[in-house]
Amino acid sequence: MIPRPTEDSAQTILSTPLSIVGMIIEVIRLRFTAEIYSDPVLSWAWEPLESADLTSDSIIFVESGFNENIEARTVRPGIWIDRDQNVYRKHSIGHQDQMPVNVRTSMEQFYAGGECDISVDCTSPNRGESMVISSIVQDHLQMSSNIIQACFGLRDISEIILNKTIPFEKDKKLFNSPIQFRISYEIRWASLPTAPLLRSFYAKLADKEDPEKYFREITVRNTSE
């Protein structure tokens, strides 16, 4: 489901793990943007990779966990946001007594709750620097969690847990102070009746002499051919 403003407010409803990760990245980037007022002034500033001077001691990376192959990350502090497990709870089926049904098309609407675990790795070649950065990030997420929930239509943000500073498992030359929390959100979708699809599927099978062989070939077929 594509995030979009609601009709009656300026909210944006986030309903996929990837969009939630992107939102957290932007929220943390704002905290480390030089133009944002901070007292005391932070020792680090985030800038887009295209324009950042990676030789500057003040530059900090704030990127998706998929972006950890940046060469300069071994000498510069960085914040890497990723998702861990994502769980969909049991959904409400679109029966007429539960959820809306379009009578003309028989389209049913569905609803479910989702929960996504977010991990934030605060890395640096210096152990103390990793600890300080992680404390700033934890405080920022904790103090802005209510605003984040209201602005992006999230159901809940769990406790922000800051773990012990340890060598970074992906690069032993770095120290990492990991932060973990869980975001609960809502997902909605609609579905047309499956009977027409199943009928066309059965019609396709009717042309096959051996349906079992047909399915077996689909399983083992080389997709590169």
Helix (H) or strand (E) holding 200: helix 195-206
CB atoms within 10 A of CB 182: 17
Phi, psi of 91 (to 5 degrees): -100, 160
**Whole-number pLDDT of residue 92:** 61
| CB distance 116 to 20 below 8 Å | yes
Phi, psi for residue 11 in degrees, rounded to 5? -70, 155
164-222 pLDDT, tens digit each: 999 998 888 899 999 999 999 988 777 766 666 677 777 777 777 787 887 788 787 75
The mean-pLDDT minimum among 25-39, 102-116, 151-165 falls in 102-116
Give the span between the Cα atoms of 139 and 122, in whole angstroms. 13
Tell me the residue type at 7: E
Token duo for residue 33: 């943007």
Residue with tokens 């972006």: 67
pTM: 0.74
Distances (CA, A) of 181 to 59, 105, 155, 171: 26, 41, 14, 23
d(CA 130, CA 60): 11
Least confident of 23-27, 71-75, 110-114, 138-142: 71-75
pLDDT on residue 137:
97
Q: Where are the alpha helices (DSSP H) in 91-182?
A: 127-152
- The answer to whether 21 and 37 are in contact (CB under 8 A) is no
Q: What is the mean pLDDT of the chain?
A: 81
pLDDT computed for residue 2 by the predictor = 36
pLDDT in tens, 40-67: 889 999 998 888 887 888 899 999 987 7
How far is 87 from 96, CA to CA, in rounded Å? 26
Measured CA to CA, the distance from residue 154 to residue 12 in angstroms comes to 10
